[in-house]
């Protein structure tokens, strides 16, 4: 099974989980990068990022999206911003035009619910076979080892569900 992990990370939480899942699946990884980055180290991240998420913008990416047609499984990860996914995923979805693939999602939050974010990711990537999701609360800051173990077990479960 050929798989790939695609994620956006502002503060390193989704990067930690994305790298763990990719390593477990022995998959390549794409970290979505914004041409105009959101300020990560100031309160402006909430204003800029939250407003962008609420307005459903599609910011320009600084990296290109390769052809994903050969991949059977695509794992997509995002932080939760204003209850939904980071806008970089909207740009990725429009550029990648993924259809008829097995797809799974992970979300990282600061402590709030991830259910709406996951549901909206499912809607964004409709036309695919949704096979699972998982979520984490600030894994790079809290209980990191358990979060890594959880991500590994989840990735293993994705393989078994194929």
DSSP assignment string, the chain: --EEEEE--SSSHHHHHHHHHHHHHT--EEE--BSSPPPSSSTHHHHHHHHHHHTT--PPBSSPPPP-TT-SEEEEEEEEETTEE-THHHHHHHHH---S-EEEEEEEESSS--HHHHHHHHHHTTTSEEEEEEEEESTTTSSHHHHHHHHHHHHHHHHHT-
Nearest to 86 by CA among 107, 101, 102, 62: 107
Q: Map tokens 């990022």 to a residue.
A: 49
pLDDT tens-digit series, residues 28-86: 999 999 998 887 777 777 778 888 888 898 999 999 999 999 999 999 999 999 999 99
Q: Which of the two residues, 60 and 162, has the higher pLDDT score? A: 60
pTM above 0.85, yes or no: yes
113 pLDDT band, cuts 50/70/90, is confident
Q: Which residues share a beta bridge with 129?
A: 102
Q: Are 79 and 11 in contact (CB under 8 A)?
A: yes
Domain boundaries, the chain: 3-160
| Higher pLDDT, residue 76 or 141 | 76
Question: Residue 37, Cα to own-chain centre: how many angstroms?
Answer: 17
CATH fold of 3-160 reads: Rossmann fold (3.40.50)
Q: Which residue has the higher pLDDT, 130 or 39?
A: 130
User: What is the predicted pLDDT for the residue at 62?
Assistant: 96
pLDDT on residue 81: 92
Rounded Cα gap, residues 64 and 50, in angstroms? 24
Helices 144-160, 13-25: crossing angle, 10 deg rounding: 40
At residue 39, the pLDDT reads 77
């Amino acid at each position: 099974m050929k798989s790939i992990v695609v994620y956006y990370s502002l503060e390193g939480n989704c990067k930690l989980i994305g790298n763990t899942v990719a390593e477990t699946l022995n998959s390549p990884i794409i970290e979505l990068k914004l041409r105009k980055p959101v300020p990560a180290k100031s309160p402006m991240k909430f204003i800029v990022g939250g407003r962008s998420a609420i307005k459903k913008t599609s910011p320009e990416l600084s990296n290109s999206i390769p052809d994903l047609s050969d991949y059977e499984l695509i794992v997509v990860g995002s932080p939760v911003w204003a209850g939904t996914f980071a806008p970089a995923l909207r740009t990725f979805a429009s550029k990648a035009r993924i259809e008829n693939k097995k797809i799974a999602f992970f979300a990282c939050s600061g402590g709030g619910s991830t259910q709406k974010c996951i549901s909206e990711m499912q809607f964004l990537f409709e036309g695919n076979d949704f096979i699972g999701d998982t979520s984490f609360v600030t894994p790079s800051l809290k209980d990191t080892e358990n979060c890594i173990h959880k991500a590994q077990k989840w990735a293993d479960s994705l393989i078994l569900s194929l």
